[in-house]
Structure 1
Amino acid sequence: MSTPIPLTRHQGLEALELRAPDGAAATLLLHGAHLLSWTPAGAGEQLYLSPSSAYATGQAVRGGVPVIFPQFAGRGTGLRHGFARTKPWQLVSAEVGSDDAMAVLRLQDDDATRLVWPHRFEAELCVRVAGRSLEIELACENRGEESFDFTAALHTYLGLGSLLDASVRGFSGLHYWDSIKNSEQRQRVDLLLPEPPLDRIYHQVEQDLTLTEEPVGRPGRRVTIRQQGFADAVIWNPGAEACAQLPDMPDSDWQRMLCIEAAAIDRPIRLEPGESWAGMQSLVLE
């Protein structure tokens, strides 16, 4: 037997507070289908959310998990990072089950989206929390009469005590595009010690990634990150200089986050009329 989850408000915007029977919880805005918070059962907050972020119609929230669709960054002629993260999404369902809590939101084309991306589509975002796991699935269906291409990402901001204590494993042998150096590179060692500014798009990511924090004198932390349907993974941290230029992020907060994003960038997704695609990112606090 499932129990419906009522709508509430967060920073003046409609939101859903997902809480599983075991205590796992997440906060999801209808604005942008933006996941703001994830607290696994028996643990603390895992995502970074900027205290300076704006919560307003037409503006993106800094932190959490923004939905990037239908364009990643400036790779196209449309809006940078697309329009999905600033549009109101519709609530399809939200309920607490016997061992989890889940919500599904939907975005469809309208007059405003067709001005910047002339295609008929339906996108859905599904968020599920249970125990120490979080699952986020993004799906898209071509509802028009012509094929279209798109790129997408789940722009996950993972919170850190200190970037100096963090490392990521799982990229060994993979090629990546370094957006700082504007060149193609190869990851030759398994261990990645983030040294900002960092902006890389890793290709053909099939293995699990592991974010580890090993602070001196405090308990460590390990998060396993898996993805399906997304061929790429983005690692991003703005560093001190670029962070100081961001109006919605404190100057020193680059030290408190690392983005590890499931993405479809290098090879855009093509959908024929009536076709669908889905991609998922799952995170498990070990």
Structure 2
Amino acid sequence: MRGGIPICFPHVRNLGSLEQQSLVRCHNWTIDPNPPPPPTNGIKAYLDLLSRPTAADMNIWAHNSFELRLRVSLGMANLTLTTRVKNIEKVKALSFNFAICTYISVSDISEVRIEGLETTDYLDNLKCKERFTEQGNAITFDGELDRVYLGTPTKIAIIDHEKKRTFELRKDGLPDAVVWNPWDKKSKTIADLGDDDYMRMLCIESAAVEKSIVLKPGQEWKGRQEITAVLSSYCSGQFDRHVASDG
């Protein structure tokens, strides 16, 4: 579970068991054999996955009348995840939180910086969710970090200086962003994370956390995240936009 891009629905983090947090994360998905075509914007390959409630879900989450569609689209140097949640209940509203939990492989976490979240308010999960405002020009890492940034911009940059590579993360419909690295002490307490793996990973989530999404019967919500890899000797506010050939 500590890799790839898990989908967290209907709750996100610190709300009980894994199943309660991430119902669909533990589901078997089905492939839509006849998905609608994508827009003609450079998409080279795409796949639509569907998740619907099971009989066992009622024991975990009462509001389980939903259909979740996940479109995975690949371009030459970008990966796009488009999610749609539909309330198929005829009477009750559907309330949920959502996150696209992206694990990024990095060379050395101490050489990584995140730009785009400057002056943004965040909740610090290491300080009982106390609210602060980001003061630095960028987020850097020298210890455990677990924050929920609120009302974030649509574009965030993750710069890996050692690899001379930048990930541009663009998102729509997902106003918040979670940034997490467990550092050394917590890594030793996580069963599915090696003791030194924290040095080579960064978790950043495009999320709707602070405010729940509420859908009336028949309504649909859409969220989207696109990650593009570019070779970069990043200078604040500027990208050297040569497309990375190896992703």
Give the CA deviation at 1:76.
6.9
State the partner residue of 1:25: none
Pair 190,148 (structure 1): closer, same or farther in 2 beyond 3 Å? same
Matched letter for residue 152 of structure 1:
F
Distance 1:152 1:103, change over 3 A: same
Contact 2:150 2:210 in 1 (8 A): yes
CA contact (8 A) 2:154 2:172 kept: no
Equivalent residue, structure 2, for 1:92: 32
Query: Is structure 2 residue 94 aligned with structure 1 residue 148?
Result: yes
3-state SS, counterpart of residue 180 of structure 1: helix
**Cα deviation digits, residues 235-273 of structure 1 (max 9, x gap):** 001111111111111110000011111001000100110
What is the CA–CA distance in structure 2 between the aligned matches of 1:246 and 1:123, rounded to whole Å? 29
Question: What is the aligned counterpart of 2:82 among 117, 129, 137?
Answer: 137
Matched, 1:83 2:83: no
Taking every aligned residue pair, what percent have the same amino acid on both sides? 26
Relative to structure 1, is the Cα distance of residues 273 and 78 closer, same or farther in structure 2, using a 3 angstrom cutoff? Answer: farther
| Cα displacement (A) at 1:166 | 0.5
Matched, 1:187 2:127: no
The residue number in structure 2 matching 1:202 is: 149
Higher relative contact order (CA 8 A, sep 6+): 2
CA contact (8 A) 1:74 1:80 kept: no
- Contact conserved, 2:117 with 2:153, CA < 8 A, in 1? no
- Tell me by how many angstroms 1:225 deviates: 0.6
Matched with 2:60 is 116
Name the structure 1 match of 2:199: 255
| Aligned pairs for 1:69-80 within 5 A | 69-75=9-15, 79-80=19-20
From the superposition, tell whether residues 279 and 116 of structure 1 become closer, same or farther in structure 2 (CA, over 3 Å). Answer: same
What code does the residue aligned with 2:115 have? R
Task: Tell me how far apart the structure 2 counterparts of residues 267 and 117 of structure 1 sit (CA, whole Å).
Answer: 19
- 172, 178, 196: which one aligns with 2:118: 172
- C-alpha contact 1:94 1:103 (8 A) present in aligned 2: no
- Partner deviation per Cα, 1:180-237 (whole Å, 9 max, x = no partner): 112101012231112331110000112411111112xxx5111111110001000001
Instruction: Report deviation, 1:82.
Output: 2.1
Question: Residue 6 of structure 1 corresponds to which residue in structure 2?
Answer: none
| Correspondence 1:52-63 to 2 at 5 A | 61-63=1-3
**Conserved in 2, the CA contact under 8 Å of 1:204 and 1:232?**
yes
Q: What CA RMSD, in Å, does the superposition of the two structures yield over aligned residues?
A: 2.0
Equivalent position of 1:42 in the other structure: none
Write the distance in 2 (CA, Å) between the matches of 1:278 and 1:193.
Answer: 31
- For 2:123 and 2:142, the matched residues in 1 are separated by 16
Q: Which residue of 1 aligns with 2:245?
A: none
Q: Distance in 1 between matches of 2:59 and 2:18?
A: 10
Give me the whole-angstrom Cα distance separating, in 2, the residues matched to 1:80 and 1:175.
Answer: 27
The answer for unaligned runs of 5 or more in structure 1 is 1-60
Relative to the length of structure 2, the TM-score reads 0.85
SS of the residue aligned with 1:155?
A: strand
- SS of corresponding position for 1:112: helix
Alignment check: 8 A CA contact 2:92 2:216 kept: yes
The 1:99–1:235 alpha-carbon spacing in structure 2 relative to 1, beyond 3 Å, is closer
More divergent stretch after superposition (169-178 vs 181-190)? 181-190
Q: What SS is found at the alignment partner of 1:88?
A: coil
Equivalents in 1 of 2:71, 2:33: separation in Å? 9
TM-score by length of 1: 0.74
Query: Cα deviations across residues 36-91 of structure 1 (Å, max 9, x unaligned)?
Result: xxxxxxxxxxxxxxxxxxxxxxxxx2211011000111247994422111110111
